[in-house]
Amino acid sequence: QVQLVESGGGLVQAGGSLRLSCAASGRTFANDAMGWFRQAPGKEREFVAAITWNGGRTFYADSVKGRFTISRDNAKNTMYLQMNSLKPGDTAVYSCAADLRVGDYRTGTYAYWGQGTQVTVSS
């Protein structure tokens, strides 16, 4: 059974940092693009960041560019999201996705999704 499991969320003050992890099991994603998305209460899910299969290219939403860094370790079948200078507006459930099937990194269809991890940033 293929699973993506996020961890590393929590409560942090504005200006603080968190590092999210997305651990995959059941198959390797070493040849697949992966991404992070988030959904705040009452809002639609939005793209945060994506990374190509070998980490050679990364993509970010304008709202997180310069503050967040996406990376991956294919040997560990794990993807990361380092989040610095967090703002209350970053509060959301963050989910990872893998294996882009159709479309582009921001709006395309990914085959696999994790359950999400809550990130809460207090002011």
Distance of alpha carbon 78 from alpha carbon 25, whole angstroms: 9
Q: What is the pLDDT of residue 101?
A: 94
What is the residue whose two structure tokens read 């697949």?
A: 32
> What letters, b where the CB count within 10 A reaches 16 and e where it falls short, cover 104-122?
ebeeeebebbbebbebebe
How do 58-60 and 109-113 pair as beta strands?
Answer: unpaired
pLDDT tens digits along 6-60? 999 999 999 999 999 999 999 999 999 999 999 999 999 999 999 999 989 999 9
Average pLDDT over residues 90-109: 95
Q: What is the pLDDT of residue 105?
A: 94
Q: How far is C-alpha 63 from the chain's CA centre?
A: 14
Q: What is the pLDDT of residue 73?
A: 96
Q: What is the pLDDT of residue 39?
A: 98
122 contacts: CB under 8 Å, gap ≥ 6: 11, 12, 13, 14, 88
Distance of alpha carbon 33 from alpha carbon 28, whole angstroms: 12
Q: What is the pLDDT of residue 63?
A: 98
Please provide the distance, in angstroms rounded to a whole number, between the alpha carbons at the two ends of the chain: 40
Arithmetic mean of pLDDT over the chain: 96
Q: What is the pLDDT of residue 32?
A: 93
